[in-house]
Structure formats: structure tokens, C-alpha cells
Amino acid sequence: MTRVVLPYHLRQLAKVDGEVTVDGSTVREVLDALESEHPVLRGTIRDSTGKRRAFVRWFACQEDLSHNDVDQPLPEAVLDGREPLLVVGAMAGG
């Protein structure tokens, strides 16, 4: 199982506290599983075409994975549960 940390607003939408865990060894698999378990999140991380939203990034193990191939395996530390995959909304004020 892969640990995923969602930003505040998406935790509120999905009605979850803290981390969520889903099956998946790539970003695509993790997001597919996340959207399958929490349909309200469809369209919030990726738009209706499957493209990552402009103000959303995904990080893990101090690396920005946002521009990697979404079918690339996640880092070993994420796959074995030591580290979470972070879904991050861009910093902004206002």
C-alpha cells in the first residue's frame, strides 16, 4: 500500500484525516486508486483530460516528481511505506 498525503482542501472533500493509503506503484496507479476510492477527487488533481492541474504538484523523498512519466515506478522508499507521496497545492496568498 502506498501512503498519500493530501492537501487540506482535498482531505476535506474526501472526508479523511491525515494520510490515506491506496494500492499503486506509479503516480498514475496511485491517483487512479485514489479517485476510485474517493470519486469526489476526480478532476481535482488531474483535470478531465487526465492532465495534472497547473497548481498541483507531487513530491516524494525530497524530489519533485511532477514532471516525471506518471507510469514510472515510485521511489523505493514510497513503495515500501517508509515515505509518503505528497500531493501539494501551490503556495499562494489571498
Partner 1 sequence: MPGVRVLIGTRKGAFVATSDAGRRSWQVEGPHFGGWEIYHLKGSPVNPDRIWASQSTGWFGQLVQRSDDGGRTWDAVGKDFAYASVPGTHQWYDGTPHPWEFARVWHFEPSHVDADTVFAGVEDAALFKTTDGGQTWQELAGLREHGSGPHWQPGAGGMCLHTIVLDPADPQRILVAISAAGVFRSEDGGATWHASNEGLQSGEIPDPEANVGHCVHNLAMHPARPQTVYMQKHWDVMRSDDGGASWREVSGNLPSDFGFPIDVHAHDPETVFVVPIESDSLHYPPEGKLRVYRSRTGGDDWEALTKGLPQENCFVNVLRDAMAVDSLDECGVYFGTTGGQVYCSPDGGDSWAPIVEHLPAVLSVEVQTLS
Say which residue the cell 523523498 belongs to: 61
Alpha-carbon distances, residue 18 vs 7, 26, 41, 68, 70 (angstroms): 10, 21, 16, 26, 24
Name which position in 4, 10, 60, 70 contacts partner 1 (CB under 8 A): 10
For 38, list phi and psi in degrees, rounded to 5: -130, 80
Q: Which stretch binds partner 1 (CB under 8 A): 17-25, 27-35, 68-76, 84-92?
A: 84-92
**What DSSP designation does 71 have?**
T
Letters for 32-51 (x = contact with partner 1 by CB under 8 A, - = none) are --------x--xxx-xx---
Contacts with partner 1, residue ranges (CB under 8 A)? 7-10, 12-13, 40, 43-45, 47-48, 53, 55-56, 89-90, 92
